[in-house]
Amino acid sequence: MARLRGRGMASVNYPTGMNLGGDPSQALIHATTTGSFVISLSSVDLGQGLKTIMAQIAAETLGVPYGNVMVDTADTDTGPHCMGTFASRATHRVGNAVIMAAKEAREVMMQVAADELEVDPDDLMGDGEGRIHVVGSPEKGIGLVELALAAHFKHGRTISGRGIYMKPKSDVDPETGKMDPDSAQAHACTVAEVEVDDETGEVFVLKLTNVYEIGRAMNPAMAHQQIVGGAWMGISHALYETTEPYYPDRSHGPTDFAGYLMPGPGDLAEMRSAIIERPAKNGPYGAKGIGEMTANSPIPAIANAIFDACGVRVDEMPITPERVLRGLDALRGVPA
C-alpha cells in the first residue's frame, strides 16, 4: 500500500456578465462640505472587496486621495438601480458606472476651482493628494476642503455626478444562434499536485499553481486573495461538499454544518498564483471579472491529478474515498 502522487491541469475561460446584456448598474457620487466624496450604490459587497475597488476607481477618476472616498451600499429602496452582484459582473458594470459618475463630478469640481482661482478649467490639474492647481504653477491652487466649502456656501453648486452602464442587449439570431452573450472573457489555468492513498482512498491536495488573465488587477493583493479563497472552494467542491450524498435517496443528508463537510485550515494546499494583465477595451481601466471563476479550474485539475496518480477517473463530485476505492477495485478486477 502506498501514497501515489499525480499532477493534473485544467484551464477555463469565464464570461464577465451574462444574460446577453441589458443588465444596467447605476452609481451616484456627491461631495460633502469636508471635501470627501460619497459613492451611492445598490450593488452588494459579498466579501469580494467591491467597496474597496469602487473607491479606488472613483479616486483615480476624480484625481483625489483614496481616503477621501466613501462607498455607501445602503439598500435597493434608497440606492440607485443595480441588476445584481452576480456573473462576476460587479467590477466591470459598476466600475464603468462609477467612472461615468466621477467624470461628471470632476467637471463640476474643476469648474468651481477655476472660478475660485480665476482661470480656465482646462488650465487646472489635480495632484492626487487633495489639491487642484494651475498647470505649471503648483503654488496657485486650492485644497479639497476649501473647494467644497466654496461650492456649497459661496457658489451654490453641487459637486455631483451620475453614471449608468449597460451593455446593449444582444438578441439571438433564430437562424444561426449568433449572439454576444458577455462583455469580456477572462482566462485561468490551474496545475494541481495530489497524493492518493490507495488503501484508504483519501486524496491529499499538496499544491495548486494558478495563473489568471483578468484584464487588469485593480488591487493585486485582493486579486491574489480571491484566487486563494476560490481555490479553497474548488478543493471543497471537488473532494468534500455534497447536500445529498445518497441521491436519489435523500435520507441521511447533512442538516447543519456539523455534518456538511468542508476542508479545514489543515487541508488547504500550498498556493502559488500569478496574474496576467491584458486590458479589456470595455472594462474600467481594463478590468474584467475574476470573482466566481477562481473556484472553477481547481476542480477538474484535481480530478485529472487523481487520474494521473492512480488511474481512477471519477466523474462525480465530490471525489470521496469511497468512489476512489471503487475505482481502484474496478481497475484491479475486484467484483463490485
The single-letter DSSP state of residue 82 is B
Residues 6+ away with beta carbon under 8 Å from 12: 187, 188, 189, 293, 296, 297
For residue 292, indicate whether it is catalytic: yes
Given 116, 146, 241, 292, the catalytic residue: 292
Q: Is 77 exposed, middle or buried (0-12, 13-18, 19+ CB in 10 A)?
A: exposed
CA–CA dist 4, 103 (Å, integer): 58
For the sheet containing 69-72, what is the strand order?
A: 69-72, 37-40, 25-31, 160-165
* DSSP characters over 247-283: TTS-TT---STTTS----GGGPPEEEEEEE----TTS
Residues 6+ away with beta carbon under 8 Å from 85: 43, 44, 45, 46, 50
CA–CA dist 41, 22 (Å, integer): 18
3-state secondary structure of 309: helix
Residues 275/224, Cβ–Cβ less than 8 Å: yes
Place of cell 469636508: 34
Q: What is the largest CA-CA distance in the chain?
A: 91
Which sequence positions are flagged as catalytic? Answer: 292
